Amino acid sequence: MVMAIRGRPRGFDRDFALRKAMEVFWAKGYDGAQLTDLTAAIGIAPPSFYAAFGSKEAAFLDAVDLYIDRIASAPMRALEAAPTTREGVRAMLEGSVDIAVSNEPGGCLLILGVVNCLPTNRTARDRLLAARRETLKLIAARLRRGVRDGDLPRGTGSTRLAAFYHGVMQAISFQARDGATRKELTALVKPSLAPLDSLASPR
């Protein structure tokens, strides 16, 4: 027996709305994204927005989850899938470049979405901080695997080197936000790999 839905049906698709909201947050950050921007991008009025998401903050949290699932996960999967550590790191960084130039203005939502720690942004900032810590953990785990695989010498400071590569991702985002081209961002990758070259230990 089918329980039919009572009441007037929603006039828009919530998934579409969330995707649009994600794009606006990505482009303007949490503070910069005004409710006007969000509702205009989705094509709805404020009450529909609040009925669908609850609040701007809740919409942001949903948008971050969507961003991680649809956007940010690709470079981390590439990091994991590559046969060697060096190729994995390279693929991760190049994937970060792809993401950074795929929106206007450039950059990564997880890195640029909230930078200052006002009381208002606290929840949003903490969510992004947790996502960044997760990224860092994934990189460190891949580097440790590289040590096990013999890609990297024993005694490699995986945690510290992971922070370095996380830093390269942050630099890619910042410079993309400042208007850097894909070519300029890609040029950041090669010197970043030098630490892996100098550490390289032939098996």
Site membership for DNA, residue 142 (CB under 7 A): no
From the list 9-17, 69-77, 144-152, 155-163, the region that binds a second copy by CB under 8 A is 155-163
Q: Are 12 and 18 in contact (CB under 8 A)?
A: no
Helix (H) or strand (E) holding 34: none
Site membership for DNA, residue 7 (CB under 7 A): yes
Helix (H, G, I), strand (E, B) or coil at 106: coil
Site membership for a second copy, residue 168 (CB under 8 A): yes
Token pair listed for 124: 């949003």
Placement of tokens 């024993």 in the chain: 154
The one of a second copy, DNA, none whose footprint includes residue 167, by CB under 5 to 8 A per kind, is a second copy
The one of a second copy, DNA, none whose footprint includes residue 81, by CB under 5 to 8 A per kind, is none
* Of 33 and 138, CB closest to DNA: 33
Helix, strand, coil % over all residues of the chain, rounded to 5: 70, 0, 30
Interface residues for a second copy in 18-57 (CB under 8 A)?
Answer: 28-29, 31-32
Give CA–CA dist 189/86, Å, rounded: 11
Helix (H, G, I), strand (E, B) or coil at 183: helix
Site membership for a second copy, residue 88 (CB under 8 A): no
Site membership for DNA, residue 166 (CB under 7 A): no
Placement of tokens 């460190």 in the chain: 140
Interface with a second copy: number of residues (CB under 8 A): 38
Least distance between a second copy and beta carbon 49 (Å): 20
Amino acid at 178: D
Least distance between a second copy and beta carbon 95 (Å): 17
